[in-house]
Amino acid sequence: MQALRMTSKRQVTFPARVCEELGVTAGDTLLLEKTQNKGSKAWVIRPRRRRKETWFKGLQKYAAGKRHSMRSVRQSIAKSMKEER
């Protein structure tokens, strides 16, 4: 069993080994779930799983090396529309 000490600001520091086992790093969110264990109140701590990739991030490979000004975007759209005709 691992003991954690709470500061006056209600903060605790998790040992590195526990963070590694949970797969969490700085900035991650932990979820607390209230439960019962042998008739006593208990809390389960688990990491909130991050999405692997957002749809927007998925577009990065198409945008790499291209200009992103409104003029460039409009020109690119106009060019693709001409090609479709």
Residue 27 CA neighbour count, 13 Å, CB half? 1
Distance CA 78, CA 31 (A): 48
pLDDT at 53: 61
The band of 2, judged by pLDDT with boundaries at 50, 70 and 90, is confident
Report the chain's mean pLDDT, rounded to a whole number: 86
Does residue 85 or residue 71 have the better pLDDT?
A: 71
Residue 42 binned pLDDT confidence (cut-offs 50, 70, 90): very high
Q: 59 pLDDT exceeds 80?
A: no
